[in-house]
Amino acid sequence: MELYNKYFMKQKMMRTLLKTLVIILIFSIYFQGLRVLALTFVNVLAACIVEFIFEKKINKKTKISEAAIVTAILYTFTLPVSLPFWISIVGIIVGIFFGKMVFGGFGRNIFNPALVGRAFIYINFPQQLTIFWNETAKLGDFPGGFTKWIYPILDQNTAATPMIDYKASGVLPKLQDLLIGDISGVIGETSKILIIILAIYLVYKKVASWEIMVGSAIGFTALSYILIALGFEEVMNPLYGMLVGGFLLGTCFMATDPISAAKTPTGKWLYGIIVGIVTVIIRSFALFAGGMMFAILIGNTFAPIIDYTVKYFKSRKKEVKA
């Protein structure tokens, strides 16, 4: 513990977030195998090394933010369990360095660093990120992945993730399977019920913004129903849409990042709505099966503009009243 305190900054908010991420990690190991733990470990190690070197050389500090651990775990949750370790390490290095440290370190980044890393490898290694998926344990198969390194790769001709299946054939899994989490997908696509419960806990602890979460759901649902009413068959029913892919994980744990998200009360609503709307557009009309990652990064781009605009109109309103 002394060694840990020597090299890491204590961040109360990050520690609260870490507790919830560890719970998701345990469930992910059960469903997908011990390789989840190994992948998480190498990503956390790489993230801490990169941040330590940067802080020591540039900011003349010798402590790593606990946010680096959070970033590495969230990044891991966006990956398929079979991803080669070296590709995973490349991604987290890019995410920490170009998504965070080049802006000056903790608290100064514009974009969510976990998603910067994921976007980089998604674009450069599309096959490894979109083609190879593995079977998962079922809820009653205890001890499940706790005694397996990894489950077999799915037959690419007959099965894939729910998002890819829907894109290809319009077929959706059972609602029960989506809620429980025993479906193929990225590591963090575990039990949706669990994610919702942990999101409520984060809101209770004032670690995550409920305005952003609800705003994302409103934007996603509203545009989905509008497009469905206009006859666009490629648009998924919003209830299923929020349960497949990374929508819930992204909304609750990444879009709510206090550094890269909007910070004004009104801005949080607008930011969340933008994330939800962009997710529907990308999923429905782009080549990508998912869209949450790019939607959040686009939301990050607009967050400072949203806050500036909200503050501007608020100050103008006060001047008019005066």
Please write the tens of the pLDDT for every residue from 266-292.
999 999 999 999 999 998 888 776 789
DSSP 8: E
Q: Is residue 140 part of a domain?
A: no
214 and 123 housed in the same domain = no
Is 199 part of a structural domain of the chain?
no
Residue 234, Cβ neighbours under 10 Å: how many? 12
101 and 8 in a common domain: yes
Domain shared by 122 and 28, yes or no: yes
**Whether the Cβ atoms of residue 261 and residue 216 lie closer than 8 Å to each other:** no
C-alpha 236/C-alpha 189 separation (Å) is 18
Q: Residue 153: inside a domain, yes or no?
A: no
Q: What is the pLDDT of residue 156?
A: 57
Q: Is residue 316 part of a domain?
A: no
pLDDT in tens, 295-319: 999 999 999 999 999 998 888 777 6
Last residue of a domain, one of 130, 163, 191: 130
Q: Tell me, yes or no, whether 125 and 9 share the same domain.
A: yes
Report which of residues 87 and 6 the model is more confident about. Answer: 87
* Bond before 173 cis per omega within 30 degrees: no
By percentage, how much of the chain surpasses pLDDT 70? 91
Number of domains observed in the structure of the chain: 2
Which pLDDT band, with edges at 50, 70 and 90, does 171 fall under? low
Last residue within a domain, chosen from 130, 154, 177: 130
Residue 165 lies inside a defined structural domain of this protein: no
The residue segments making up the domain with residue 109 are 2-130
- Going from the C-alpha of 88 to that of each of 41, 72, 75, 149, 224, the distances in angstroms are 11, 10, 9, 17, 33
Per the domain annotation, does 62 fall within a domain? Answer: yes
* Assigned domain for 296 exists: yes
Burial 1-19 (b: 16+ CB within 10 A, else e): eeeeeeebeebebbeebbe
Whether this prediction's pTM lies above 0.95 is answered by no
> Where among 75, 109, 130 does a domain terminate?
130
